[in-house]
Structure 1
């Protein structure tokens, strides 16, 4: 397997090879020379002879294949590049899972060492950890059964959408449910034959099969899909005609419908609007089987989780309760640990001082030896360690020139993608955004929140009315698809240096710029295709800040970011001297930054007079009254 650092060198060698090509290939044979864009002819040496194969620069296609392998966590043979160890300590027929001596290594980097993986049936675990610590890698290792998890425990990992097909959303979920029922029936026959009718595994299978009830498949699947934002039209839409975000919702609907023994959700709210997030929170808080959830929404973790797992210091640390409870317990533990550490250090210093001053008096020498034994025993038992605080970084958007209002204004704006009035998404909008604005756009998916942002930028034009912008207005845009602008075959360091080549060519300068946004060390030189979503998001924020806009439009900026980074983002927005418009499903971020909440629905935009917390309660009560949860 090629390591991330080696792959980065591979990409750099390709670039270096391209630069050297001009000097060592004559114009006569230049057409024969290979380019990094994938020409079939090999690179030639100064005499016009092909270079050895190992010295040929990698083509773009080869580099992308390498990135895909690294991203998929596979080696050159197509095998998992994760290395795991672990011993099953729970009963083989139990619905609880306990794996001791668990470790996890990825690309040669130790993520977990000599820890315990414990997942008890019926508990809803929130998996915490900073960006890049390996949360997604751990879920993939569990899903691939690289730990000794008994076969009777069926696992479903939600990390990709439903495949493109000719089936509509509803039919795909129902088909998958029928396939799952068939699988359980086959498994029940095998268990009955192997273990007899008294097997606890068989009892659980029969109970699940009874609850499946094929006669209600369509009704129950419809309720779940509706809760996730589908309507009467989109529920019949073929999955091949859907965007990746909507296919992810279809896959989530299947996961919720079939109720696997162990459900692994990796940032399930990333493609949901606020309303769907509230629905999913209400649905999952009643989840009766085992759930492991990676989410960077503190609000969502508080609503869903009964337990927390902190992936910290290469260990899996367990806490009872939701996120708030975890935060309080951990703070108390760390306070007590620091008190004990300080007391022990004082005791050690006192003992060492006595030993040093004992001199040669016989009675003092005996006492010194006795105290040295105390010191040796303390060392053998392990000294109390100081608390290692989480890595916290703060970043700021550059101060910008204040522009007098109106900075960005909508005057009687109407819009439709077809240009026809019967298809309007918005009608007769009047609103304004100025340098001190902190505006949150909320509302269900499909009403046009992202469209409103594109109207602000001028990428879309109204069919009636006018969008006016200050002549000195410079807009910065962050969208949930911003990471697509990154060249995944490059390292972050090379990418920003090339993109802003006129600003500086100094690597150290760009290291500092990326470091300010929480990307440091090997993450700066690894191929961007191998980084986590949160790490890619940090690169995009760095790009946004370097461009120094005086108004920032943020479309789902928290996707993939860990909780401390979201807090840092909120602080940066509050400290920014320009205007900000945000579309986000993270209630906590909106609570910290939003001065104005605009609800987008029914072809218009209206101001919400209360707080974002009150808006969430309004959505919850609305769902309960409509019987949606």
Structure 2
């Protein structure tokens, strides 16, 4: 083995010209997929008359022909794009073909669309600074935020005893503008969105600088949902979410009234959210009515028809090259000997990271055998990843024990797999180091079976895309011949076809599987039973009902919690506002000014507290008449927000 490895390493340093070209090509392709900046691309489209009133006021997108390319590669060639106002579209196609590039080109303005369509592309995480998460979301609506800040400044000045009629008039106008834009419910709306995406009340007030990159991406998503642009573009929005947040986001977007264009590998998400599918195939965008399952059926029918037409052609060499080919990926995990029970057991485990940290598990029990199909679910921070690390042995219980069959081999897939891969080595070098006794040809064959192109086998892993690194990690696991698979978000970075192949491989695997995933289709197709990590109970327990019941329960809990917290905040805000208005009224010295102070009351309750005479001018009467008509309790407002 030592001689074989030495020979492999020496040959890697003296690549022939063909391999060098293939390596350079793979490095360039991976770099393009990783960077994806619009500055690397050129774009042309049908000439648009920007003075055309009909085009300027349009809310539909209709581009008869456009081309997008990069050096040495065309991504779209004379393709058309039609997007109707208020429809929800899913953009699908193999990885690396240009889906994200299309979104970026639209967002940057390189691909011209009617100027009346305000567009927002969620790409980058929010900046890390001292801004609380909820304020970062509220700031996304700049007009409202600026009015609120002006209101605060005027209120403070009046509370300090200033007697300026112009400031009182301006304060009244600000309240009218805020009322017109429905700003009174903005805070509740922002907090509802954050709560749905997994932020607790404490997290909502935490500065963004104290969140990881994944959580700051959630804040960026929350900002986009809060602003509600005419065209919202989301690129793999579920990648940064756990299952609970995906369930909430799916439900939220089902009621989205504006135009939505989303790239996603989550088939259930596409089925539940999208009304139409746009397929990127052979440099063209092809629209299909219906959700993803409908699109898949139509594509399968088209492929069969193409095969039938090809079968009727004369069997010539030229026609052989015309044979229809479908994009397919095949994965497999090797069949392993069955181990006696228990294979892996959590026995009365107690765990906390330190005496200063809360207890995550107390006398937790769990048993995993060769036929187990388990999906671990729970709120963020409940301890899902901690439980996986206890099972792998990376963490040791404070008390209790994790028992393993002495012959047990565990295959571990982490969502942070990049930390486990040596970036300076090629996939072949890494796998040969990991698997003693395997030769270079066999390793390359396995990489090919898992969908990694041949030219990428000899490229340093630092130059590979996320999807290519994921395939290397899956081959690594397969070569270990594990009895148990522990998979943490395995579908991230994989396209739909590869996810389907992974699910098939998991179903054919004769060992046990424990998975943490946001992919609802994987959970249901693999027949996973749910185990809920509950931080309140400090335990992990089996969910006795099915996945659909869990989904209903989760949505109900999110709604009830958001409604309860919104009602509490509303009552507190009303009390603070009443006290504030009373202070302003006392601070105003002239009766005329007191009258003006009273007229700036934002809620009917505030007006009663102000105790100042109100001028019976027509504007003020109309203002307060409208206030009375719209009078609602804060609890009822919260309920309306959740509908």
- Give the TM-score taking structure 1 as reference length: 0.73
Structure with the bigger percentage of helix:
2
Q: Please report how far the alpha carbon of residue 137 of structure 1 lies from its aligned counterpart in structure 2 after TM superposition.
A: 2.4
Distance 1:546 1:468 in 2: 24
Distance 1:557 1:70 in 2: 20
Distance 2:322 2:178 in 1: 52
Distance 2:463 2:40 in 1: 12
In 2, are the aligned partners of 1:67 and 1:488 still within 8 Å (CA)? no
User: What does residue range 4-23 of structure 1 map to in structure 2 within 5 Å?
Assistant: 16=13
Distance 1:320 1:435 in 2: 42
RMSD: 3.5
Partner of 1:299: 268
Distance 1:151 1:435 in 2: 58
In 2, are the aligned partners of 1:405 and 1:434 still within 8 Å (CA)? yes
User: What does residue range 118-267 of structure 1 map to in structure 2 within 5 Å?
Assistant: 118-178=82-142, 213-267=182-236
- Correspondent of 2:238 among 259, 269, 279: 269
- Correspondent of 1:114 among 51, 64, 78: 78
Distance 2:422 2:144 in 1: 39
Partner of 2:250: 281
Partner of 1:459: 394
Partner of 1:594: 527
- Secondary structure of the residue aligned to 1:269 is helix
User: What does residue range 13-52 of structure 1 map to in structure 2 within 5 Å?
Assistant: 16=13
Partner of 1:570: 503
Q: Please report how far the alpha carbon of residue 215 of structure 1 lies from its aligned counterpart in structure 2 after TM superposition.
A: 3.8
Distance 2:125 2:44 in 1: 30
Count of aligned pairs between the two proteins: 507
Partner of 1:87: 46
In 2, are the aligned partners of 1:169 and 1:239 still within 8 Å (CA)? yes
Q: 1:67 to 1:567 in 2, by over 3 A?
A: closer
Q: 1:387 to 1:589 in 2, by over 3 A?
A: farther
Partner of 1:559: 492
Q: 1:490 to 1:610 in 2, by over 3 A?
A: same
In 2, are the aligned partners of 1:479 and 1:557 still within 8 Å (CA)? yes
Runs of 5+ unmatched residues, structure 2: 1-8, 16-26, 49-53, 148-176, 564-641
- Say yes or no: does 1:606 pair with 2:570: no
Partner of 1:520: 453
In 1, are the aligned partners of 2:431 and 2:443 still within 8 Å (CA)? yes
Distance 2:180 2:303 in 1: 45
Distance 1:624 1:246 in 2: 21
Q: Please report how far the alpha carbon of residue 530 of structure 1 lies from its aligned counterpart in structure 2 after TM superposition.
A: 5.2
In 1, are the aligned partners of 2:411 and 2:483 still within 8 Å (CA)? yes
Q: 1:299 to 1:73 in 2, by over 3 A?
A: closer
- Secondary structure of the residue aligned to 1:176 is coil
In 2, are the aligned partners of 1:553 and 1:582 still within 8 Å (CA)? yes
Q: Please report how far the alpha carbon of residue 463 of structure 1 lies from its aligned counterpart in structure 2 after TM superposition.
A: 1.8
Runs of 5+ unmatched residues, structure 1: 1-11, 20-63, 184-207, 350-382
- Say yes or no: does 1:412 pair with 2:348: yes
Q: 1:212 to 1:443 in 2, by over 3 A?
A: farther
- Say yes or no: does 1:392 pair with 2:328: yes
Partner of 2:631: none
Offset from partner CA, 1:132-178 (integer Å, 9 cap, x none): 22222222222222212344433222223212111121111112322
In 1, are the aligned partners of 2:124 and 2:220 still within 8 Å (CA)? yes
Offset from partner CA, 1:278-318 (integer Å, 9 cap, x none): 11111111212221111111111111001101111221110
Q: Please report how far the alpha carbon of residue 562 of structure 1 lies from its aligned counterpart in structure 2 after TM superposition.
A: 1.7
Distance 2:178 2:256 in 1: 17
In 2, are the aligned partners of 1:141 and 1:147 still within 8 Å (CA)? yes
- Give the TM-score taking structure 2 as reference length: 0.71
Distance 1:525 1:104 in 2: 29
Q: 1:583 to 1:487 in 2, by over 3 A?
A: same
